[in-house]
Structure formats: C-alpha cells, structure tokens
Structure 1
Amino acid sequence: MMGMNPRQMKKLMRQMGIKMDELDGVEEVVIRLENREIVLKEPAVTVISAQGEKSYQIVPGSEEVRPRVKVSEEDVKLVMEQAGVDEETARKALVGAEGDLAEAILKLTGE
C-alpha cells in the first residue's frame, strides 16, 4: 500500500467496506477519568465505519489535563447558603477551589 495516492487508498477501502468521514466543527473532546479530565482542543476527528462498527480517530490540536473534582450536593447547598448564591455559581466555586468549602465561600463573599 506504500506509494498509493489518497484517491486509490479511498477506493480500496471502499471496496473492503470501510468508510471514513471527517467530523467538521469539533471544538473539543473530553476524556473523563476517575480523578482527572484530558481535554483535546480543536481535534481532527475521523469516523471509521467497518462491518457495522464505528471507530473514532482523534488527532488533537492541543491537550490540557485538569483535575476532576467531585462535589457533593450537601457541599453545594452549604456554599449556596453561606455565600447567598445560586446552585451553578456555588458548584463552579467548589470546583475552582478543588472541593475546599472554606475557600469557595471566601472567594464568593470577597472576604
């Protein structure tokens, strides 16, 4: 297959029942692990279909690893009450403080 031009390669793959399509407009792909997230920014994503199965080939433009913080509903409610904010704001503050209640409340109240 070496030395084959892309057009010939596509024709051969089509004959073998393999279809490849590019996904346009993909902004990011997030891989969530137990304790962190891997964020692939502006990736080139190709969907490969063969024998009824789909595979995704992802080539990232850039990569960012960030910790994954789990916050409980109790913690969110406490931050909401103490800082006088809505649920979304409280949750974001907790994630930004990596789950530290005191830090989240202090950031929201400006103290």
Structure 2
Amino acid sequence: MFGGGGGGLNPRKMEQMMQQMGIDVEDIDAEEVIIRTSEHDLVFNDAEVTKMDARGQETYQIIGTPEEVEAGSAGGDAGGADESGGSAIPDDDVDLVATRAGVGEDEAREALEANDGDLAAAVEDLE
C-alpha cells in the first residue's frame, strides 16, 4: 500500500496524503532561529524550518546544528536588527502588546521595558 520495493513513500504521495488529511506543510526561509532557555540560547544559522498546520495546530520543525551561547546574548542588535529608539525590545513584541492591550506602540514599548520584556506582564499592566 505504501510503495513497494524498499524505496519508502514517494515525497509527492506523502504530501498529497497530508493535504487530504487537512495538513498543510510550508517551508520557511529562515535566516536564524533562536531558542532561549534559562541556562543558554541555542542559535541555528541556516537551519531548515518547516511549518506544519494540522487544522489550526501549528508545529515547527528545525533541522540543523545549533551553537550554544550565553543566555540572552543571541539575537541582539547584530546585523542591523530593526529596533526603534535603540530599545532592546523587538518590534514584533511591541506590536503584539499594543494590539492585545489596545494601546499605541510607544505605550506598549514602555510597558515592555518596565517589565523586562515580559509580554504577559506588559499586557496585564496596560489592561
């Protein structure tokens, strides 16, 4: 049933089967992936990232070898990151807090800075 002769599943056939089950697969052109833990950051450069959406549940697969660096040291302002006002708070976090709390970006950034970048605490302070 699943392809004969030791070759395993044909990738095209596998993709068709997944689509029939309502699973969408998308390759993401990621430049860098950072996983932060309390002990260290794992930095994947040139990783292969695949997003799988199974009826609204998104799963990301990262294939690559990470570099382990000091906690909080990855992803700073290296390479011209788009950070307004010299703040260490990522613009995406500011947008998220502003949208969730229904406030402007400046107010959201101030709340994030006051809460050391903690999204939930910033939203809670603004509500």
Aligned to 2:66: 63
Unaligned runs of 5+ in 2: 74-85, 88-127
CA RMSD of aligned residues (A): 2.2
> Which of 10, 14, 18 matches 1:13?
18
Relative to the length of structure 2, the TM-score reads 0.49
Runs of 4+ in 1 over 6 A off after TM superposition: none
* Cα offset, 1:28, TM superposition: 1.1
Q: Which amino acid aligns with 1:49?
A: D
The equivalent of 2:9 in structure 1 is 4
Contact in 2 for aligned 1:35/1:69 (Cα 8 Å):
no
Higher relative contact order (CA 8 A, sep 6+): 1
Where does structure 1 lack aligned partners over 5 or more consecutive residues?
71-86, 89-111
How big is the shift at 1:4? 2.1
Question: Paired residue for 2:37?
Answer: 33
What is the TM-score of this pair, normalised by structure 1?
0.56
How far apart, CA to CA, are the structure 2 residues paired with 1:69 and 1:20?
Answer: 31
User: 8 Å contact 1:35–1:68 — kept in the other structure?
Assistant: yes
- Separation in 2, partners of 1:48, 1:69: 28
CA distance in 2, matches of 1:69, 1:22: 27
1:6 aligned partner, one-letter code? P
Secondary structure at 2:66 match in 1: strand
Contact 1:29 1:39 in 2 (8 A): yes
- Does structure 1 retain, via aligned residues, the 8 Å contact 2:45–2:66? yes
Greater Rg over alpha carbons, structure = 1
